[in-house]
Chains A and B, each alone.
Chain A
Amino acid sequence: MYKNICIVIFLVIIVLWLTNFFHKDEKYNLHLEKLKQEYALKSVPSVDHSKLPSLNKEFKTPQEVTAACISCHTERHKEIIESSHWNWERVAYIENRGISFVGKKNVLNNFCIGSSANEQACAKCHIGFGMSNNKFDFTNAKNVDCMVCHDNSNEYFKGSSLAGYPDRIVNLKKVAQSVGMPTKTNCGSCHFYSGGGNNVKHGDLEEALLSCDKSIDVHMAANNMDMSCTSCHTAENHVMKGRLYSVSSENINRAYCGDCHTNTPHFDDLLNHHTAKIACQTCHIPVYSKVNSTMMSWYWSEAGKLHDGKPYTEVDENGNPTYSSIRGKSEWEKNAIPDYIWFNGTANHYMLGDTIKSIPVAMNTLNGSFDDKYSKIIPVKISYGDQIYDPQTNMLIQPKLYAPQQGDSAYWKDFNWKLASKAGMDKVGLPFSGDYDFIETKMYWPINHMVSPKEQSVGCAECHTRDEGRLAKLTGFYMPGRDRIWYIDFFGNLVLIFSILGVLGHGIIRLINKS
């Protein structure tokens, strides 16, 4: 009797344990539900700007609109003229460089190279009016463009090569009366089109995010949370949270997933341990450029070929320009798989006047390593290419690319690198020897957007696999499933082989002796 009771109890325990062992329950994520509730409530503006008498008039210039804004928001322009959106630079401490002013004014990239000498065109993405050259007065608040960020009518847009002025057809009165919190359209009007077209530079920021489904971006999906950029990139006194290390340098004021989701968001502890060394994006953004292609490389050395003396463009089957006379050759990728690097939140950049130290030239250097306590693995897009440099001074050249017409030394009109280089380098006050060549470049773009639904996140075995895993290039640390300690395996296998041989030999001798 006692024995039977024991057996029954034992069997019940075994069955319960086995059920628990094989059955994985979908756990209810209350924390996530609370977040959804929080972000489902969209704020209602407390002021209807169309009812304000000071905005109920025809504006002749956009500066008049700004003056009208300042007449009520009396101090906001002061915040703006301190901001990097306005100054195109910020003060940063950079290791081995010291305290520096870093930003679009002096940092080069391997797409359109740089804004200097091309302000007339590039200032389309400056939050001001009239930045046509490097003499722009950054202290004059009258030229602050409030509308480009705060227009909620979707009618405001900046004109092409108008130095940041709005297009002439924009109805300033209507725009002024419909201002509010920035929407995806506002931020996207610049951040989606950097590099001269949709999704060219970033790869994870593009116009498809204005209306996408969950599989493209769980946060911004129209049929999911429909969050705007400012939901995460919150602002305090017009200082936006979050930074991109194509121009940023310091590990401050970053926007983290963990700000909402905490650093231990999984029910599985083993997954939570990963967050000590791996950024959320690494697993949760399996691919980027999910809808439209992004440019992976740009070879300026190929630019300048003409058909019958005229520039031309070749496109691939997706409509991406693979060759254009003014830009050169480029390669595009859709559904690109990120590269992975260690990153601790600090970066260095190639700045105007730097001498070239390595080939390919590192347009930006993202610091970090496995040994660094503060480094995590992040996904990046690496853009390759070549661009013009001066072999005598060993400096990258800032060419003058844009001019409204021919005969102004602009490469995009005259196709003469020497003139363009001379004009550009003169503008930024750097020497140009008259000699030029092209040199390979490399630039890192951290991938932070287009977060996939959890079902689509990177699976364990995509990294924890012997060869060709996603992290195959990151070495110097032990990763289970990928790495082995060769002498342990050698010794272990030796022990096993000798055990088996010994046992077999012993058994055979026994059998022989028996018979």
Chain B
Amino acid sequence: MVKKQVNIYKRFERFWHWTQASLIIFLAITGFEIHGSFELFGFEKAVSFHQKTSFALLGLIAFAIFWHITTGEWRQYIPTTHKLIDQIRYYLFGMFRGEKHPVEKTELSKLNPLQRLIYLGFKIVLIPIVVVSGLLYMFHKTIDINNIVVISKFDLEPIATLHTLGAYLLLAFLIIHVYMTTTGQTPLSNIKAMITGYEEIEQEEEQQQEKGNIS
């Protein structure tokens, strides 16, 4: 076992992560203002900001999908039940007893089984719900060039229901996600890794060699 600084988060990955984080936080602020939870920018500005930011997020998501496919990084999110229970047990009990992480983080498998499951849900359930309901929200009752109102067969209410539900879940994800970053080797090591890209990882000798062979 050797401790080594490994470039675990690639440059695009970090750019994507932090841009997405700031966009989602800004969307949450403007979104909940539109929802009437508080007043900050004023309804009109909040709507305009929310709309423009959402397009930026859509653009970013398009790049992220492209990146995941072309680099094969999507494989990181293939769900597995292997050691899933161990991981949950670790967060619930093991961690308090000072046990070690049940799953080692490596460059080829940087997510633990619980993360895989949660992030996959985030990517293929939560984000699509919010994006699709958001687009329907945005284009509800659009009047096309022939003066015909499109997307008017159903009311705004179910769209708003889904969009608001998605927003609450995203906010809950954000709270827990931010807290979970403190469960690394040191409370700040995970965040530092997401900024610099490098994290100190314990690697076994053979992996080291394997990596050497590849490069």
Contact = CB atoms under 8 A, between A and B. Distances in A.
A460 B49 CA distance: 14
A263 B147 contact: yes
Contact of A276 (B91, B141, B175, B179): B141
Interface string A242-276: 00000000000000000000011000011011111
A264 B1 CA distance: 68
Interface in A447-489: 459-461, 464-466, 477-485, 488-489
A507 interface: yes
Q: Counting chain A CB atoms within 10 Å of each CB, which of B49, B171, B179 scores highest?
A: B179
Contact of A461 (B44, B52, B56, B179): B44
Given A263-B143, A269-B142, A459-B44, A513 B97 contact: yes
A491 interface: yes
A276 B172 contact: no
Interface string B35-46: 110000011100
Interface in B157-207: 157, 160-161, 164-165, 167-169, 171-172, 175-176, 179, 182
Q: Counting chain A CB atoms within 10 Å of each CB, which of B15, B91, B156 scores highest?
A: B156
B179 A506 contact: yes
Interface stretch (A42-50, A140-148, A170-178, A495-503): A495-503
B179 A481 contact: no
Contact of B43 (A460, A495, A502): A460
Contacts, number: 108
B180 to A, nearest CB: 9
A28 interface: no
Contacts of B168: 488, 491-493, 495-496
Given A496-B168, A503-B175, A264 B143 contact: yes
A400 B42 CA distance: 56
Contact of A478 (B49, B141, B157, B176): B157
Interface string A122-151: 000000000000000000000000000000
Report the interface size class on chain A: 35 or more
A233 interface: no
Given A484-B35, A485-B157, A491-B165, A275 B44 contact: no
Interface residues of B, number: 45
Contacts of A503: 175-176, 179
B160 A480 contact: yes
B134 to A, nearest CB: 12
B95 interface: yes
Contacts of A477: 155-157
A465 B42 CA distance: 10
A273 B140 contact: yes
Given A464-B43, A499-B175, A273 B160 contact: no
Given A276-B149, A495-B172, 8 more contacts: A21-B52, A275-B143, A460-B44, A477-B157, A483-B160, A489-B164, A491-B168, A503-B179
4 residue pairs, one from A and one from B, having the closest CB atoms: A492-B168, A478-B157, A461-B43, A503-B179
Interface of A: 6, 10, 17, 20-21, 24, 263-264, 269-270, 272-277, 373, 459-461, 464-466, 477-485, 488-489, 491-493, 495-496, 499-500, 502-503, 506-507, 509-510, 513
9 contacts: A6-B11, A20-B52, A373-B152, A459-B44, A461-B42, A482-B36, A485-B157, A495-B169, A509-B96
